[in-house]
Amino acid sequence: MRRRMSRILSSATRPELIVRQAVRSLGIGYRLNRRDLPGSPDLVFIGRRKAIFVHGCFWHQHGCALMGRAPRKRVEYWQPKLRRNVERDAEAVQRLEALGYTVLTIWECKVRNADLTMRLRAFFGE
């Protein structure tokens, strides 16, 4: 289990790289993982006051088929941990919006959809 968990990346994941490539194709510059902003968004567009989170369906409890099953071992550890991730996500979005940012959350299961570029264009108002 430890070996499997150690292979999970926190940044530069495949879904995040796909989103970055889509944003680059629109010709829009961005900053990565700004630690000075609440939640450390995956992509930040400072001049536009916009931020994008690319969330993994399991870790952020999306509820889709890609999320898989809930952990069966050490449930007393995993349930509060995953619940806290969801709470922390909501807090980060609220704090970013209070700072004047518009926030978009892109789920891992939606990254490969054909409408990703359309969603990004709509987010940027293009």
Query: Which pLDDT value is given to residue 2?
Result: 56
Per-residue pLDDT of the chain (126 residues; tens, 9 = 90+): 556 555 555 567 889 999 999 999 999 999 999 999 999 999 999 999 999 999 988 888 887 876 667 778 888 888 898 899 999 999 999 999 999 999 999 999 888 877 899 999 999 987
Domain 2-120 class, CATH top level: alpha beta
Beta bridge partners of 53: 105
Q: What is the pLDDT of residue 67?
A: 64
The reported pLDDT for the residue numbered 10 is: 59
